[in-house]
Amino acid sequence: MKENDIQRVEERLEELGRICKKDGTSIDISGQVLARIHAGEREKAGFPDLMAWLKAHLTLPSAVLAVILCLAIPVIFYSVSQAKYKKVTFTYSSPGAEKVSISGDFTEWRPERMEYDPDRKEWSIEIKLEKFKRFKYVFILNDGKYIPDPRAGSMVDDGFGGRDSVISTI
Amino acid sequence: MIKNIKYIVVFVTAVLGLILGSYQSPLSGQQNYPGLREQYTAISGELVVLVGKYKDKPLMSAMLKNKINEGIVKNIQPDQLMKAVREYDIRLKIVSDLLAELKRSSSVQEEEEGVLLSCLMDLLREGIGPDDLSSLARHSVRTGGGRKFCFITELGLDIFRQDLKRDDVLALLTGLSRNSMKERDDIFYLKKLLLLAKQLELSPGRAVEIIRQGLSRNRSWKTIESMLKDEARFYRSRIKNKR
């Protein structure tokens, strides 16, 4: 409400007060109504009052508690989302290959490059897989040859004349 | 500034916490369906129509998209890709009906649906007919949930590659689906028994029959192993007597 609106209401109410006085009633209507209007204005503004409330109530222990909560909530959310996943390390022994990638349902078939470990003499990659799912995948050698994982539990025809490996996270 | 330090600390911590919480969250890593390469332009229209058929079935739509992506990544010729995707779509339709029937007759958990679909697709591709598949899935889900059906599928995919008759494999899988077996270890023992039967030179059909008998009587793996050994001894003595 604008300042001159309040002024107009104030004038009207004072007039009403005078009428009431003539009638013998002595209630401070204008005072009450104006107090309500101002309270409404304060509610609308909100933020300064919240800041005032925080300044009045935020002590060191409550600030520490707020910090802990702010840190804990995302950690809890993160842990819950991670509980749905399982880390699986895929390995492939092909020391002669120059580049090995993995491609499967879990990468929407985009090839992901595997790292070569010279000590173990194998290519490996760790991938987070959703639990209680089955995924098909293959290894890609030197960007051209698609081969199923010889260590996979099962294999299926891929429908294109080749084979896919299957991994389940059950 | 120092007066307001506690507000600043709270604010900065909250922002940092939120950033940390969302960092590396798997949900934030979702990527879009990749565009088709030039060579696939001619078939892109049909592919879009096929995928669009499953817009209300996100699991199936994702499976079909994955199959298309797989073909593209493997550089499959467009006509061959289209043929494979059409066949996949036909199987997906059959499996969709089977899953709907399964959901009506058994208690299928929502999180099991993806696994069931994938298993049904693989077994259908291996040549198990819809009726047998329906019965196999129904019994497995009743006795051990989607987990069990997944183990049975894994076993089926493995032993279909061996020199076993399709009917024998199917009979063995059906026997397992009705049996109380629930763990992956059971699959391991069963594979071991099949290997033993091969070493004992038992015919695959006879080995499957003995295993089925053992399973239907709820015998332990150890007992079934003895049954196989007894059968091999009996078989050898019969051959000796004939000579």
Instruction: Give the per-residue pLDDT at A4.
Output: 74
Query: 3-state class of B128 per DSSP?
Result: coil
Mean pLDDT within B105-110: 84
Please state the domain count of chain B.
1
**pLDDT digit string, tens, across residues B51-67:** 999 999 999 999 999 99
Chain A interface disruption, residue of B65, B68, B73, most A CBs within 10 A: B73
Q: Do B150 and A85 touch (CB under 8 A)?
A: no
H or E segment and range at residue A149: none
- Locate B124 and state its tokens: 């259908």
How much is the pTM?
0.70
Does B26 fall in a domain?
yes
Using a CB-CB cut-off of 8 Å, the residues of chain B touching A60 are: 6
What percentage of residues in chain B have a pLDDT greater than 70? 84
Does B214 fall in a domain?
no
B/e letters for B187-206, b = 16+ CB within 10 Å, e = fewer, are bebbeebbebbeeeebebee
Mean pLDDT within B98-118: 90
Alpha carbons B215 and A113: distance in angstroms, whole number: 45
Does B215 fall in a domain?
no
Residue B215 zone, left/alpha/beta (φ > 0; ψ -120 to 50; rest): alpha
Does B32 fall in a domain?
yes
Does B39 fall in a domain?
yes
Does B242 fall in a domain?
no
Instruction: Give the per-residue pLDDT at B28.
Output: 33
* Residues with pLDDT less than 50, chain A: none
Backbone φ and ψ for A111, nearest 5 degrees, come out as -65, 135
Instruction: Give the per-residue pLDDT at B22.
Output: 46
Q: Which domain holds residue B44?
A: 1-105
**pLDDT digit string, tens, across residues B4-54:** 666 776 667 666 655 554 444 333 333 333 455 677 888 888 999 999 999
Q: Do B158 and A154 touch (CB under 8 A)?
A: yes
How many angstroms separate the CA of residue B233 from the nearest CA in chain A? 32
Average model confidence (pLDDT) across chain B: 84
Instruction: Give the per-residue pLDDT at B84.
Output: 96
CB-defined contacts A:B, below 8 A: 116
**pLDDT digit string, tens, across residues B60-99:** 999 999 999 999 999 999 999 999 999 999 999 999 999 9
Instruction: Give the per-residue pLDDT at A78.
Output: 78
Q: Examine the predicted complex and report whether its ipTM is higher than 0.85.
A: no
Does B164 fall in a domain?
no
Alpha carbons B107 and B68: distance in angstroms, whole number: 32
Taking alpha carbons only, the member of B80, B63, B179 closest to residue B124 is B63
Instruction: Give the per-residue pLDDT at A44.
Output: 58
How many angstroms separate the CA of residue A96 from the nearest CA in chain B? 22
Does B212 fall in a domain?
no
Instruction: Give the per-residue pLDDT at B27.
Output: 32
Instruction: Give the per-residue pLDDT at B29.
Output: 32
Q: Do B9 and A58 touch (CB under 8 A)?
A: no
